[in-house]
Each structure stands twice: as C-alpha cells, then as structure tokens.
Structure 1
Amino acid sequence: MTRRFPLLLVLLLVLSACASHPQDEASNAAPDTEASFPVTIGQVTIPARPTRIVSLSPSATETLFALGAGPQVVAVDSQSDYPAQAPHTSLSALSPDPEAIASYRPDLVVASADTTGLAAALAKTGTKTLVMPDAKTLDEAYDEFVQLGRATGHQAEGESLARQTRADVDRIVADTPKPVRPLSFYYELDQTYYSATSKTFIGQVLARFGLTNIADGNDPSISGGYPQLSAERILQADPDLVFLADTRCCGQNAQTVGARPGWNTLTAVKEGHVFPLDDDIASRWSPRVVELVRAVSAAVTDAGK
C-alpha cells in the first residue's frame, strides 16, 4: 500500500474496513513436510502447492518471505518494497491489470482486495486468487500468517510465525513500564490531519499500552476508523504523545511539527514527545509489527517517566 499518496491510503483503508525478528526464524525453518493439498481457504481451493506466486499486497509479500515462501514468489507489486530480495515489478495493487499479472504465469495471486473482478478474470487462465484483507486486529494478523502458510505449503512455519509474533508483542507490552498517569496521543497519517481511531489495526496496537486516542471522539467507528481531524481539535486535545506515520512519505519530524502554527504549545512538543515511525511498518499487518510495537514501547517509556 502506497505511502506516497496519504489521502489515497486513507480512502483505501476505509474501503478495506466495508519484530526479535520472527520472520528470520520462520524463513530459516525446515520446509513443512506435513503440508497437504488441496487446501481450502475461505471460498478458494488451492489444488497443489503453488510454485509461481504473485503478491499484490505489501503486507502479504513481507509475510510470504517471513514464512520461507520467498523462492515461490515470482513477482510483487510496485509498493512491495520489503524485503529487498522480493522480485519487484511495476504491477499495480490499486488497479491490477489481469493481463500483466497473467504474463508472470502465476498459479496463485495474493491480493488484499478484489474490487475490480480480478479473481474472475484470472480464473479464466486457471489462476487462483487468494484475497487476504487488511487485518483489523492483531489476532486477524496472526490468523493470516497461518492462512498464508497453509496456502503456500508452509503451514508449520505459519503457525510458528503467528505464535512467535504474538509472544514477542505480548512480552514487549508486558515489559513496558506503566506511565505514572494516563497518556493521550495523536496518530498522524498525513499533513492534512488524517488519523486512526482505536477501531483500526494500528489503533488497537497502540491501545495495548493503555493510551487514550484523541481521534476516537464520541465514535471510534467514524469514517471507517480514519477520520480527518482539524488543527484546532488537536490543539484543544493537547496530546501527551504524537506519533508520525508520515515521515518517509512527507518528511515530517519533531521540528516540522513544532513549526506548525500553535503547535509549539502542545505538551508533546514541549516535552519532546513527538515520535517518528517508519511509514511502511506502521501501515502493514506483517510480522514487522513487532518493530512497531517496540517503537511504541520506547515512546511510552520515555513519555511516562
């Protein structure tokens, strides 16, 4: 999912609503000799272990490589920028071209959504399309690790990856010192003040630390969990922490935030509690969520002193 067009990102996230490094451990694991096919996941039956996979989801791409299915991946979409060895192409996940995808002769295509009839178009070539929607909770992310493992012949690795990621996240949260007082935060998706409520994947990750999300307001479900706030609302809420998920795409940092009109009065700015995040890690449900949780833990620890 692109981070270069923040507003488009928010709209896509709304539609999708209608890391120790566990990936290293999983990728080094022995092949799952117990995997058997056919495998049915949802409405899709995969007849045999896929050997030519096309991934149209950055989150799925990261997970496939974490599972050890990297050698089976022949192409990934233009936004799948991790890991470096993924076979990057110009394929679009936002407006997928069935003909361009079919040119890679895939036996399995993994996508985060199908709003353009992609599955039906590819079915004519005998290609199966597995839709793995953006996870809305950590539990959903863990489940998708398992499902991708089953779909690719790496069931044991998928289960191991889910267990290890869950354990790492739980441990980091448990080891994070509790603030002496409740802390509030503002999570920024872009410079037009789009944010994420506690009903979203990222919102639920942050909620694990007992933080109050100023974007929730009276209805955390508003705008599919991705409301656009106003500068006035943010200033009035005066959050204790500010998390920036628009650092790589938009060059935002503590200095640019502090230079915004009136923002130098925010508690988070005055106390040095503006925390930049890696845009991509913060927008994906991949195993690298452990890195995100670790970054939030460090911020909470710093702000809670």
Structure 2
Amino acid sequence: MKHLIKVAGVPILLCVAVFLVLEWIGSIDFIRTEDRLRIVSLSPSATEILYSLGAGVDVVAVDPYSDYPEAARKKKDQDLDGASPEVKDVMAYEPDLVIVPGYQGPEGEEAVTDLRERKVDVLVDSAPRDLEGAYLAIQDLGDKVDRSNEARKVVGSMKSKIDEIVAEADAVRKEAEGEGKGGRDGKSSYYHEVDSNYISLTSRTFAGSIYSLFGLENIADQYEEAGNGYPTLKAAEIISADPGMIFLVDGQTLETVRARAGWHKISAVREGKVVELNGDLCSRWGPRLVDFVREVSEILDAGS
C-alpha cells in the first residue's frame, strides 16, 4: 500500500513542483506588471534611452518620430505630436508618465499643464548642452523610471567608448604632427547646416560640443544672438568664413551645395569635404551618441 502511494505520488509531486516553478517565474512579470509604469514618450531621444535601460516594456505609445529601436516603431501613434500634443490622445493610453521634448510651443505648454492637473507625471526632456549633460539626462531618466542601475551601466559604457575614440583620434593627430605632416590637412573650422535656410548650430549646443571634442572651430559661434544655440546665417557670412568642412543633416548634398551662388569658393566645397550626416545620430543623446562620435572621428581621419 505504501509502495502504491509513493508511486502514485510521483506525478503529483512533479505537477506541484512544475506549478510552483512556473508560478515563481510568472510572478516576477505579474508583480512588475502591477507596479509597472505606463509611459507615453513624445521624445525620440527619451524613447531610445528607455529601451536601452530595459524600460521598453513600460512604454505604451510613442510619437511618430520615435523610430528606434525597431520595437518602438510598433508603438508609434501618428496622432501624438511631441511639440503640441492633444491631451485626449495622450490620456487614451492612461499614462502614469508622459515625456515631452523641450521645444514646446504655447499649445504644448498648455497640454503639459493640463496633464499635470490630471495628476499625470510629465517630464520635459530638454536637449543637453554638452556630453556631460547627456550623461546626466540618461541618469535622470533612469532614476525616474526606477532603472538607476541600468542607467549607470549605460552611461559608464558610453563614457568608456567615447573616451577611447577621442583618445585614439588625439593620438593619431599627435603622431601626424610629430612626423611633420601637420596633423589633419585643411582647416579646422566647420559649418553644420541644420536647415537649407542656413540655420546652423553653435558649440554651445549638444552636437556642437561633440565637434569640440576633436578641436574643431564652429564658424556659427560668432553669429549667436538669440542665445538658443541655433543662429540663422547669411550665405555671404558662410562664404566669408570659408569653413574647412561642412556637415549636412537637411537632405542637401555636395552637388546641391556646390550649385549655390558663390559656394564654390569655400574650401570645404572646393576640396569635397561636404559630408551628409544621419540627422538622428547627431540630434539624439541616447546610447547611439557613441556612433555619432565615431562617425565624426572617421570622417576627420578620412580627410586627413
């Protein structure tokens, strides 16, 4: 009789054990689901950072421009405008946290106020001024979504990679100077074109600070008046400054730039040092910032 009970008990014990294990595994997700934030991200930079921190599971919707990583694209809502979001569209997702970009117009500011009055936590994700500001923004967002440790790891990895890229670039430059090659040839000045209406950026902006890591001089710095870091230059001013390199993020090319009146006189155009950049990489301050730093370094090395 005891033998029968023992034999019969084997499948019962196995079932119980399997059940307990599955319940334990599932409970992790169930517990996190109950405590999980419902995040609506209207900032492409924030979206990339959230996914890098493993918080993509908490994101319920993103704006149309949040196209990275691939998983974020599945949550894009064409009706969610980051600059002037409609409160009803945002509230449809029952969010706990809404992240909006720093460039808010009057309508956007009203939406932020409205959301906060509805007891929704709103984080205004303003663009950092420099690399350290980018690191701080990532850490702050990590703290906000209870991913502090993950944020520290991401920032630490970024710092290590970027420091290594810049150090290697400096070593190459010093070696070239030591051999009497004078380092990178051409001028160290540059013009970064944000828009074909000659809107540029200064060294006091996030992207501008990256160029400064490599010792490049920004011709737009002297034309900063509004204080927002994005002055509109005149064609004559750009031609007169004669930058050694031109970076484009507005769909323009060497051919279209060369066709502009008087631009053939510019050193960068004459020597073919007009580069088309990925606008997302140089305007977002998530982990892919490393790719932008590496791209600038490779461009400079190729032109040396």
TM-score bracket relative to the smaller structure: 0.7 to 0.9
Q: Give the Cα separation in 2 of the matches to 1:261 and 1:152.
A: 51
Q: Deviations over 1:30-84 (max 9, x none)?
A: xxx9xxxxxxxxxxxxxx9543110011110111111111111000012212222
Contact 1:268 1:274 in 2 (8 A): yes
Are 1:199 and 2:204 matched, yes or no? yes
1:1-305 to structure 2, matched below 5 A, reads 50-86=36-72, 87-90=75-78, 91-113=80-102, 115-176=108-169, 177-178=172-173, 179-180=183-184, 183-217=188-222, 220=224, 222-247=226-251, 252-303=252-303, 305=304
The structure richer in helix per residue is: 2
Q: Flag the 1:120–1:230 CA change in 2: closer, same or farther, 3 A.
A: closer
Superposed CA RMSD in Å reads 2.0
> How much identity, in percent, do the aligned residues show?
40
Say which SS state the counterpart of residue 280 (structure 1) adopts: coil
Q: Give the Cα separation in 2 of the matches to 1:222 and 1:203.
A: 16
Cα deviation for residue 95 of structure 1 reads 0.7
Report how many aligned residue pairs link the two structures.
253
Cα deviation for residue 302 of structure 1 reads 2.2
Q: Give the Cα separation in 1 of the matches to 2:283 and 2:40.
A: 21
Cα deviation for residue 126 of structure 1 reads 3.2
Q: Flag the 1:170–1:187 CA change in 2: closer, same or farther, 3 A.
A: same
Letter in 2 for 1:99: K
Q: Give the Cα separation in 1 of the matches to 2:150 and 2:193.
A: 34
Structure 1 range deviating more: 220-229 or 59-68: 220-229
In structure 1, the gaps of 5 or more residues are 1-32, 34-47
Contact 1:198 1:220 in 2 (8 A): no
Contact 1:50 1:108 in 2 (8 A): no
Q: Give the Cα separation in 1 of the matches to 2:261 and 2:113.
A: 51
Q: Deviations over 1:215-264 (max 9, x none)?
A: 112x64644211111111111111111001112xxxx1112112222222
Structure 1 range deviating more: 237-246 or 252-261: 252-261
Letter in 2 for 1:297: S
Computing the radius of gyration from Cα coordinates, the structure with the larger value is: 2
Q: With structure 2 as the length reference, what TM-score do the two structures score?
A: 0.78
Q: With structure 1 as the length reference, what TM-score do the two structures score?
A: 0.78
Say which SS state the counterpart of residue 142 (structure 2) adopts: helix
Contact 2:200 2:231 in 1 (8 A): yes
Structure 1 equivalent of residue 177 of structure 2: none
Structure 1 runs (4+) deviating above 6 angstroms are none
Letter in 1 for 2:269: V
In structure 2, the gaps of 5 or more residues are 1-27, 29-33, 174-182
Say which SS state the counterpart of residue 65 (structure 2) adopts: coil
Letter in 2 for 1:135: P
Contact 1:197 1:221 in 2 (8 A): no
Contact 2:83 2:101 in 1 (8 A): no
Structure 1 range deviating more: 93-102 or 124-133: 124-133
Letter in 1 for 2:243: P
RCO higher in structure (CA 8 A, sep ≥6):
1
Q: Deviations over 1:162-187 (max 9, x none)?
A: 11112211111111132346511011
Contact 2:184 2:301 in 1 (8 A): no
Letter in 1 for 2:120: T
